[in-house]
Amino acid sequence: MIKAITGTKDILPSEISKWYHLEKTVRDIFNYFNYVEIRTPIFEETSLFARSIGEATDIVSKEMYTMIDRGGTSITLKPEMTAGVVRAFIEHSLGEKSSLNKLFYISPMFRQERPQAGRLRQFHQFGAEALGSSSPLLDAEMIEMAFLILKKLGLNDIFVKINSLGTPQSRETYKNELRKFLSDKKEKLSEESKLRLEKNVLRILDSKSHQDQEILNNAPSIFEFLDSSSLEDFDIVKKYLTDLAIPFEVDTRLVRGLDYYTKTTFEIISNKVGSQSSLCGGGRYDLLVEELGGKPTPGVGFAAGMERILLACENEKSLNLPERNIDIFIVRLDKELSFKVAELASNLRRNQLIVEYDYLDRSVKAQMREANKLNSKFAVILGGEEFSKGELILKNLSNGEQENISLNDFNKLVSRVKEWH
Ligand code: HAM
């Protein structure tokens, strides 16, 4: 039997209401902040990701789904959205049409990571990008939107971590200092951190090794090297978050796994999802548009993992969604009435009612059972003596009350069902 590829997951009908609820919450909140949806292709030229996310990052060096298409172009399934959004922003001159572009997305992403709870190879992100302003108020707005969405989903055991990575110049100075500090301790570092010392020294800061973290306790902090504009902006972000009553902590070891960041970075962590605890992450990327060939345009954004968020909701038991139900199940007493039933169903559906009936020639008892199984609010019973009198029976399945309605009084039938809410 052919099974789904490791690290991919079917979203089954029994789970879909959670996804609808999550997507609706996301769309509502982005809408209040005036973010508008953008959809970009599932695959892009490989070089787009290599140039934006960074050659030395785990995503680009180990995790991308890349192939050569029949035309000889190297294409990659998107591992994240920021690169594609910035590419579209430049390609369609969105910066010329509007001085600030506030964009959001909901989309599948692809990374060939080792699958585990909360880590998939095809997963879904929602996220936002604001292009055109370097105001730190937008940095705080990103954190606020992410926080509000998570709160709206009932998540309580979450916390916000923020940091500043400064300008490339201040970061370069810091990287050199950190490398200097770590090089005589190299032998004590984990194997992974040893490799990162030359290529990606900042990532050592979020090493999972206990010993590495102990060594880092005496390491210089990035805040000793930040330029004044980064420090000022960071203060504004902190002030705004405090005013908005969004609790946060400063974590000077929060470096993120993508190279395009400048200044503010942040993550929201859940205590309820095990090791893959980061529900969302983001930050400012003031040089990315220029690096990808556009006019210098500052940007800031974040993305959140939807499977992880749903896992956190499940573990916090925060979503109590009503079970799906339908409005009417039409029970047919006589086989000869099949066509009448189909016609009635069609007319009711055209009046925005959710209607189901039996397609399997089942007995009356089995049809009633099905009506209950589908949580139908009403049964319409068609046939028998009533039918010969030109009537049908409308039965309220939650209290058992029933009334006869003339077959000619279709409007009465519709209004009875719609009234009952
Ligand atoms: P990221 O930290 O790589 O950032 O991913 C954001 C979120 O996507 C993570 O916090 C996590 O919840 C989820 N995620 C990542 N990988 C997986 C996976 N393999 N399985 C399940 N969930 C996963 C970005 O993608 C940046 N583009 C965010 C950003 C937007 N920065 C600025 N703008």
pLDDT in tens, 197-249: 988 899 999 898 999 999 999 999 999 999 999 999 999 999 999 999 999 99
Q: Across-strand partners of 260?
A: none
SS (H, E, C) 21-60: HHHHHHHHHHHHCCCEECCCCCEEEHHHHHHHHCCCCHHH
Model confidence at 271, pLDDT cuts 50, 70, 90, reads: very high
Mean pLDDT for 261-284 is 95
pLDDT in tens, 327-353: 999 999 999 999 999 999 999 999 999
pLDDT at 321 over 90: yes
Token pair for 67: 């192939």
In this prediction, residue 420 carries a pLDDT of 82
Q: What is the pLDDT of residues 162-191, one digit of tens each?
A: 999 999 999 999 999 999 999 999 999 999
CA 125 to ligand 1 center in whole angstroms: 7
Residue 276 confidence (pLDDT): 87
> Which residue's alpha carbon is at the smallest distance from atom 14 of ligand 1?
305
How far does residue 344's CA lie from ligand 1's centre (Å)?
49
| 421: confidence class by pLDDT, cuts 50, 70, 90 | low
User: Which of 104, 109, 114, 122 has most ligand 1 atoms within 8 Å of its beta carbon, as the pocket-test mutant?
Assistant: 109
Pocket lined around ligand 1, Cβ cut-off 6 Å? 80-82, 111, 113, 119-120, 123, 125, 127, 129, 257-258, 278-283, 301-305, 307-308
> pTM for the full model?
0.95
3-state secondary structure 68-84: ECCCCCEEEECCCCHHH
Beta strand residue intervals within 230-357, DSSP E: 248-250, 262-270, 278-284, 299-305, 326-332, 355-357
- Where do we find the tokens 């500052």? 298
Q: Which residue, by CA, sits nearest to atom 12 of ligand 1?
A: 305
Per the CB < 8 A criterion, the answer to whether 27 and 96 are in contact is no
List of E strands, 191-256: 248-250
- 321: nearest Cα among 274, 375, 267, 383: 375
In the reported structure, the alpha carbon of residue 15 is separated from the centroid of ligand 1 by a whole-number distance in angstroms of: 22
Beta strands per DSSP E along 62-215 = 66-68, 74-77, 101-110, 122-131, 158-164
Query: Any residues with CB less than 8 A from the CB of 332 and at least 6 apart, and which?
Result: 338, 341, 357, 358, 364, 367, 382, 383
The answer to whether 387 and 326 have CB atoms below 8 angstroms apart is: no
Residues in the chain: 421
Matching residue, tokens 């180990």: 62
